[in-house]
Amino acid sequence: MQTDLSVWGMYQHADIVVKIVMIGLILASVITWAIFFSKSVELISQKRRLKREQQQLAEARSLDQANDMTSAFHAKSLTSMLVNEAQNELELSAGSEDNEGIKERTGFRLERRVAAVGRHMGRGNGYLATIGAISPFVGLFGTVWGIMNSFIGIAQTQTTNLAVVAPGIAEALLATAIGLIAAIPAVVIYNVFARMIGSFKATLGDVAAQVLLLQSRDLDLSASNVKPVHSASKLRLG
């Protein structure tokens, strides 16, 4: 009869299938926390950098001025990437008099970039969603398997003594507990990241709108043969 009812003791006396289930769930929990720490650092640092760049970009009065500003930004600056997209479209459309077409194509390019960044920032969330969804059921499978073995043991020993039956049932229920321990943080972290990524994409969309606004103004002023204003007053959106 099993006397050690600690978590480690129950694991050691568990059936091999239940042990495999427990190990799998523990690995899933480790993956969850690894994603949490790595993505938290990435999202927080990217959001802070993007906010600083957005504030600096608000000082620009033309796309060329914005391009000069972004040269001092981080090597992986998303703002620089968006400004470069707008500049590239202007270069590819050199000689075209269809300003509306240029604006539309630039808008498509910026939207595509924002969507690509959103997909990149969302990598790893699929693992969290999967772990959160299936871990309780995997744990339940381990519990059902363990209880089946307990009933088989009851039939073989021909006793219903609770002291004999309880340890096996406790081992089985431990699998469900580990499943919940793996699933609950995964679901919570998934939702937190979903909100953070949504907020990040909204900020990046604002930056893209600022870039498109600068390009649109430059094109309209160029069509009117008016030089862009170079004051440092901030742009006001909306």
Residues 162-199 pLDDT 10s: 666 677 778 888 889 999 999 999 999 999 999 999 99
Burial class (CB in 10 A: 0-12, 13-18, 19+), 13: middle
pLDDT at residue 12, rounded to an integer:
75
The fraction of the chain above a pLDDT of 90, given in percent, is 48
pLDDT at residue 153, rounded to an integer:
75
Is pLDDT at 238 greater than 50 in this prediction? no
pLDDT band at 5 (very low <50, low <70, confident <90, very high): low
DSSP state of 62: S
For 108, other C-beta atoms within 10 Å of its C-beta total 12
Place of tokens 């608000």: 58
pLDDT at residue 232, rounded to an integer:
43
33-42, 81-90, 161-170, 175-184: least confident range: 161-170
Question: What is the distance between the alpha carbons of residues 210 and 3, in angstroms, rounded to a whole number?
Answer: 69
DSSP secondary structure string for all residues of 66-80: HHHHHTTS-TT-HHH
Is pLDDT at 227 greater than 60 in this prediction? no
Is pLDDT at 223 greater than 90 in this prediction? no
pLDDT at residue 205, rounded to an integer:
93
Residue partners of 94: CB distance under 8 A and separation at least 6? none
Is pLDDT at 31 greater than 60 in this prediction? yes
pLDDT band at 233 (very low <50, low <70, confident <90, very high): very low
pLDDT at residue 37, rounded to an integer:
95
Pick from 73-77, 110-114, 232-236 the range whose average pLDDT is largest.
Answer: 110-114
Residues 103-139 have pLDDT tens digits of 899 999 999 999 999 999 998 899 999 999 999 999 9
pLDDT at residue 151, rounded to an integer:
80
Q: Backbone dihedral region of 158: left (phi > 0), alpha (psi from -120 to 50 degrees) or beta?
A: left
pLDDT at residue 161, rounded to an integer:
67
Is pLDDT at 140 greater than 80 in this prediction? yes
Q: What is the reported pTM? A: 0.79
Structure token digits, residue 45: 């640092």
Calculate the average pLDDT of the chain. Answer: 85
